[in-house]
Structure 1
Amino acid sequence: MRGLKVLPSGRPGRGRLYVNLPDGQAVAWYDRQANRISVLADDHREAILAVLRPYLSGTVSIGPPPVPTASDLRRLALPPDADLAPNRPGETLLGELEHGPAGTRVRHRLRQDLTAQQRMGDAFDALEPEGWRTLHCVPLPGLGRIDHLLIGPAGIFCVRTIPGRRQRAVIGDLLLTVGRAEPRPDPRWIRRAAAFATAALAAKVTPALALVDASRVETAPTVRDIRILQPPTATPNLVASPTTLKPPEVETLFARARDTTTWLTPTNRPGGYSSPAGV
């Protein structure tokens, strides 16, 4: 059958590959970790195998899908353009660099931000075998975008990434300063974003700041509610954190978080939230 499309459901090379009809209906998926094709429409079996053949390796098992969980059902019903899972780290910055301002200074800053987000994003994506799920560039109405949303055994973390530029970074209750640059309201912003995410997901979300390539990070002793992450210790520390979520809870929260309507529905917006000045 012509017109079958193969669409990724997560990070390239890691998540499932879904086979959809032209109208968006899923007819099969290929689980790369299990090396198994689950066929939903047996009358399209040969066409499904043909379109998936370039992606297959080794001995692949084929059959009907296992009994779907609630997360599976929600994912199957999710239109591709409403799925945040395929977003790459720094997705919006890539677009800004391609179509944005031509000023050398502005583009240099954008490249610094992009490099930092890609580095942290790749590190977070690598946690998938440890039971973590990651989304990038999650839109928050009136607030901008969460750089990375991590959901895993240690909980949910809303991460804002800051390039350290090999300079000293000082984190206070309300402001963050890198080198001699103007202070930024990142601590205040990430708290608001985490509160928004907590309301949207109906689960506790911890705010986190990731400092990439800072020569030194100094954090005020009063900053106790924000998780400070620095490569290369950021991901090992997350993995070693106490477990608060079980695997089914992680998958359920990930299925909810990847749906754009979770973030765009007005009832999910905490009262009084608007775009803060200077954020």
Structure 2
Amino acid sequence: MFSAYCLHVGADLSIGKVTDSGNIRCAFHGWEYDGESGQCAYLPSGDPVPPRASLYRFPVVERYGIVFAFNGLTPRFSIPEFDHTEDSLVLKSGTFPDRFQVDPWVICANTPDLLHVTELHQFDVRNDPYEDVTWQDYSATFPIHALTPAGPVLDIRPEIHGTNLFHQNGTVDGRWFGWSTWMGIPTPGQTTVFYTICAQPEPDETPEQTGEFLDYVLNLEMSIASEDVPVFAGMHYTPGNLTRGDRVLARFFEYLRTFPRSHPSADFLN
């Protein structure tokens, strides 16, 4: 993946085209960029190519039907995996229908916000999630064993990776499933949420039955997420009066503040 704007006058390259030779051709003035390196390779005017006319190339990997790009030279962590090998899973990926009116880290803060799990979502939590939390350099894990208001029992291991990846392994009523949401920023202050849900087929289970289980879990996860939507729609996130009950959330803010920031593509973007 390359930075999106031509380095001539800033035209959007996405409305250009890919040439037969694999170059990216700008629609405005015809500048072409090498499809492998991002270096400007051709000017229709015949002028010399400016030495700094090179797009930034982001490291990219495709997993679970989602394309991930890292804003840096080398990713600091790998895309999280599910408890079972990908080949053995039935996966379904998609996009939440509406944008969230907050930045991705605000959505990720939902997971360590343990008080909202019991207050808004009304989970009857059976473990001590405050004691079970673990922190890593670029991720955190928040195990929860809870009875939901609708009846299903969740024994799940949610994780936050980076500042915009939510990943979860666990069981609902004893059956394993995986659920992840991956968050992009279409414009500042907004988040587009992509999701992947997966299950491992049971012995002698038909594809239709596996699909029914996936739909059941997807509806369960969406119903939980839908309770957050009206809150985010009008939220001005200003954590100014945290209490002891917010101690895991406070630790997450520290994780955010100290998370490495790098912007090597700055010279290539407007």
The two structures have a TM-score, normalised by structure 2, of: 0.25
Q: Which protein has the bigger helix share? A: 1
Q: Tell me which structure has the larger Cα radius of gyration.
A: 2
TM-score, reference length from structure 1: 0.24
